Amino acid sequence: MSNETLSSLSTRIKQQRKKQLWTLEHLANLSGVSRSMLSQIERGKANPTLAVTCKIAEAFNISIAELIEEPWTQPLIEVVKGDNKNSILRDDQSAFIQVLTPIHSAENIEFYLVKLPVNGELNSHPHMRGTREMITVQSGDITVISGSDSKHLTTGDSAYYQADQDHRIINNWDQEAVIYMITSFDNASNTN
């Protein structure tokens, strides 16, 4: 283990112990690691083996990864670059779909740019129960269908519809249609 990693691990063990309001003795009893070894680890004076690190993580009831890795904190402003090829979900003759939401987003919302070529269609099977989609037509003439209902939309129009049933978007225009789509997943329905 590098000095930097050891220092970081030592700090996290001490922070976790203090967060739990535990003494070194209490952590020693729970982990099976001696109090003196824990003290040396917290001070960065001892380099724990993987087995010892696992015992400490188990005592805290967390994974070894949570104990070793730096916790991720979401920045105040996160940018998804338009030219990021990894954000392209689909690119074929029927549709182009680019994810505009950060991949690790913890929210129950996804944001997409959808481009449909002339006569293009985006056919979707039902998503999880309670899922809704909202689309805004940036440019084009489309039909949105959800279940047995359909609506005609043109540039500037928006629609909000159930996406927990078969649904599709059809480009009726003689040019590419450009659509922004937000998919919202219902938390309550997804926890059942």
Cβ-in-10-Å burial (0-12, 13-18, 19+) of 163 comes to: buried
Cα distance between residue 183 and residue 152, in whole Å:
19
End-to-end CA distance of the chain: 42
Mean pLDDT of 90-105: 84
pLDDT in tens, 35-89: 999 999 999 888 888 889 989 999 999 888 888 776 666 677 878 888 877 788 8
**Domains of the chain, each with CATH number or no CATH:** 3-68 (1.10.260.40), 85-190 (2.60.120.10)
Cβ-in-10-Å burial (0-12, 13-18, 19+) of 95 comes to: buried
CA distances from 62 to 107, 129, 153 (A): 23, 32, 50
CB 179, CB 135: distance < 8 Å:
yes
